[in-house]
Structure 1
Amino acid sequence: MADTAHWIGRGEALARLGVKSQTLYAYVSRGRIAARPDPDDSRRSLYAAHDIARLSGEAVEAEDSAVYRRTPGGAARGEADVCSSLTAIAGGRLFYRGLDAVQLSETATLEDVARRLWDARATNPFAEVRPRIGAVPGGSIRARLFAALARRAEEDADPKTRSVEDLRLECARVLDEAVDAAVGSGPRLFLHQRLARSWKTPERDAHLIRRALVLSADHEINPAVVATRAAAGGGAAPAAAAFAGLLTMAGSPMMAELTRASDWIVAVRRQAADAARRAHEMGRLVGFNAPEDYPAGDPRAAALLAAADLPADLARAVQEGEAATGRKANFPLALAVIARRLELPRDGAADLFLLGRLTGLLGHALDQATNGSPIRSRLRYVGPEPGAH
């Protein structure tokens, strides 16, 4: 199908949505509808038919869905063109710089994955990291994590030129301090072991924390990655750039789903079958809608759950949820299950995810600062005419 078939004019967009021009422009400005200039008349815009169909409740064909994951020329939705050498999804699998992330999670530590994502395989920046004295304020792990990043962002704000090796060491220090801020200082063990020690996780189960961190490290290009790279491209230090991305991630739909999945697991683990059926009937069952890139199910979730040796109640909750929806458990649900399996604090699944994802965001900051091409984006003004009253 020709590309033009997937872009429609303003009049058709308004008719299909049943809204006024101001609402259409608001959808575009908020990123809910992709827009691009009309190649035949640059004064006009064309709008993504896929987004129009989604918002109007029309059926979306699979071909349309595939086309609109990226706009012509490779630009991501919202017209920001981001080049990354870190992560790719291909054939329903996730790859970190060419290596299967699920296979890596079998044995790799978060430090191993950090070195790979940071392209630091020849040297080990963590070997030069030393513990930092001084507690970080905050009542929760997330609050202390954000406070630690804010502190580093201020300290590293000097715009002096740094070598790639210096930047990698800086990233290692940021990640090390983030874990210390989250769970307190202690023996200089691997990052996942320090988390397990703080959470009083038995040594035999610490590998689940390691796997969860590794599989959380990075994923597709999303607003958090764009925020990180935009900050790094503007001159921000790795800590500041990653902080921008982590704040974006903290308010994302992914985190909201993770919270709902955690709440659901807590509620159903004793009566999984009845609760799953009732939740599905009420449209409240979450954690079973895999991303489009994984038609056979999210391999991260499958790997994490397979390694967990789940007790009967948690296994039954997953099985009944899959039976009720006809879909496999997704990664947020798997993280929520692991958190309950390990008896982590209530926000343990979200904390695990944010600490793991910090590794990838630091990688994006580093990649953008050292190898990244300028992020090409365009702001299209859709407000009142200049001088209008």
Structure 2
Amino acid sequence: MSQENPHGFVDAASASASLSVSRSTLYAYVSRGLIRSVPQPGNSRARLYVQADVDRLVWRKNHARRPSAAVATALDWGLPILETHISQIEKGRLTYRGRDITALAGHASLEDVAVLLWDAHAAPFDKAHFDPALVPGWAGTARIKANAPPVDRALALLALMDPSASSARRPENERLAAAVCLVRALACAMASAKLDVTKNLHDALAETWQRPDAREVIRRILVCCADHELNAASFAVRVVASMDADLTSALLAGLGAFRGLEHVTAFKDVRVLLEEAAATDDLEDFVRQRTGKNGALPGFFHRLYPEGDPRAAAIMAHVPVPPATAKLIDSVARLTGLRPNVELALVITETGYGLGQEVAETLFTISRSIGWIAHAIEQQKSGIRIRPRACSRATEL
């Protein structure tokens, strides 16, 4: 697979070269819907082509007739290797079990989404109870980790949960009750042990943060971020779950993957970008320099959504965007054609409602725990053990 352009787009010459085809064949791929294209900013007569679509066709051409080569690259970005009915991304739309997240964001709660993604036959949040005071070691560990990043607090405190409660050998109703407790424990670990988990989480979080005006956008964020196909963290969850591990262990695997550079650092990079943009006197020059330096802008573009991240759109339509940030978004769109992604939407929510830094990571992780649990449950129901074989890239395939 070719090296991806950080913007997610390539020009006609690069696309044709990658595919080893003529311009006319490239245009034929576009007309057949195999490759998407957009107008090139500043040049109405030229177009740019979606790098992910080009890569997908390159992979098919290079590996479809060579099974051993396909196996060697099966864990690369964007190549589906597991079947899931939890969420899908197609043609710029994200759906949960076939239901568009944009529609769900208009009315659903995270608890509603959990029932959907967990394929639950009853409402598990109604009866399950969680109290951090009853977890041995919680109070002491919480004091020690009081100033640690929210994800680190979650890793430390969730490790105290009784793994047997969410064992794969438990009846389904007991496992789902344990799953509810894990979600609530995660929320208490990241937001506050005083969180009133008898309420829907968006209500409880708005109350804890003393921002009732942010209640609806918190609800939208929790709905929009609950799952996102088979990303690295979800795959880590499924690997652990495939060994019939308890849900606690699977959730910790997801948290460990999320703690890596791709996610947590992404939020930090967005905050730095917004601070730098607000301090500059020449915004257009700033955008040109930032895109010219490393070819990418934190908080803008997602390779699965070349025409815009629907999660960001569903959130930002209900968030007060600071004037300096609004100017940055307009400049980036005009100069590069790039649009906000979900990381930018969450950081804007932090600043727009004065919620404080690291609320973005907290909201995202609480929400995504629903999807991680769904993947663990689905993987165990499949009965499939995830056990790839190894090979040396030096070996001729």
TM-score, with structure 2 as normaliser: 0.74
CA 1:271–1:196 in structure 2 vs 1: closer, same or farther (change >3 Å)? farther
Please name the residue that 1:220 is paired with. 229
Q: Secondary structure at the match of 1:156?
A: helix
- Whole-Å separation in 2 of the counterparts to 1:95 and 1:229: 20
Please name the residue that 2:320 is paired with. 309
Please name the residue that 2:214 is paired with. 205
Deviation, structure 1 residue 384: 10
Please name the residue that 1:105 is paired with. 105
- Whole-Å separation in 2 of the counterparts to 1:333 and 1:295: 16
* Counterpart AA for 2:301: N
Per-residue Cα deviation, 1:277-327 (whole angstroms, up to 9, x for no partner)? 543343463222222x32321111111111213242332232223223221
Q: Secondary structure at the match of 1:280?
A: helix
* Counterpart AA for 1:100: D
Deviation, structure 1 residue 96: 0.5
Per-residue Cα deviation, 1:243-272 (whole angstroms, up to 9, x for no partner)? 101211221423332221122123334658
Match 1:78 to one of 70, 75, 79:
75
Match 1:176 to one of 175, 180, 184:
184
Deviation, structure 1 residue 157: 7.4
CA 1:53–1:88 in structure 2 vs 1: closer, same or farther (change >3 Å)? closer
Deviation, structure 1 residue 380: 1.6
- Whole-Å separation in 2 of the counterparts to 1:113 and 1:272: 44
Please name the residue that 1:242 is paired with. 251
Please name the residue that 2:342 is paired with. 331
Deviation, structure 1 residue 53: 8.4
* Counterpart AA for 1:181: A
Deviation, structure 1 residue 68: 6.5
- Whole-Å separation in 2 of the counterparts to 1:223 and 1:286: 19
Please name the residue that 2:332 is paired with. 321
Match 2:305 to one of 275, 291, 294:
294
- Whole-Å separation in 1 of the counterparts to 2:122 and 2:246: 21
Please name the residue that 1:125 is paired with. 124
> Any gaps of 5 or more consecutive residues in structure 1?
1-49
Q: Secondary structure at the match of 1:125?
A: coil
Q: Does 339-348 or 275-284 show the bigger shift?
A: 275-284
Question: Do residues 166 (structure 1) and 178 (structure 2) align?
Answer: no
> How do residues 333-352 of structure 1 correspond to structure 2 at under 5 angstroms?
333-352=344-363
TM-score, with structure 1 as normaliser: 0.75
Question: Do residues 190 (structure 1) and 200 (structure 2) align?
Answer: yes
> Any gaps of 5 or more consecutive residues in structure 2?
20-34, 36-52, 134-138
Aligned length: 330
- Whole-Å separation in 1 of the counterparts to 2:219 and 2:280: 29
* Counterpart AA for 2:208: S
- Whole-Å separation in 1 of the counterparts to 2:329 and 2:5: 29
CA 1:185–1:99 in structure 2 vs 1: closer, same or farther (change >3 Å)? same
Query: Cα RMSD (Å) of the superposition?
Result: 3.1
Question: Do residues 380 (structure 1) and 390 (structure 2) align?
Answer: yes
Deviation, structure 1 residue 377: 4.2
- Whole-Å separation in 1 of the counterparts to 2:204 and 2:366: 12
> Is the contact between residue 2 and residue 55 of structure 2 (CA under 8 Å) also seen in structure 1?
no
> Is the contact between residue 266 and residue 343 of structure 2 (CA under 8 Å) also seen in structure 1?
yes
Deviation, structure 1 residue 185: 2.1
CA 1:54–1:146 in structure 2 vs 1: closer, same or farther (change >3 Å)? same
State the identity as a percent: 26
> Is the contact between residue 81 and residue 376 of structure 1 (CA under 8 Å) also seen in structure 2?
no
> Is the contact between residue 84 and residue 372 of structure 1 (CA under 8 Å) also seen in structure 2?
no
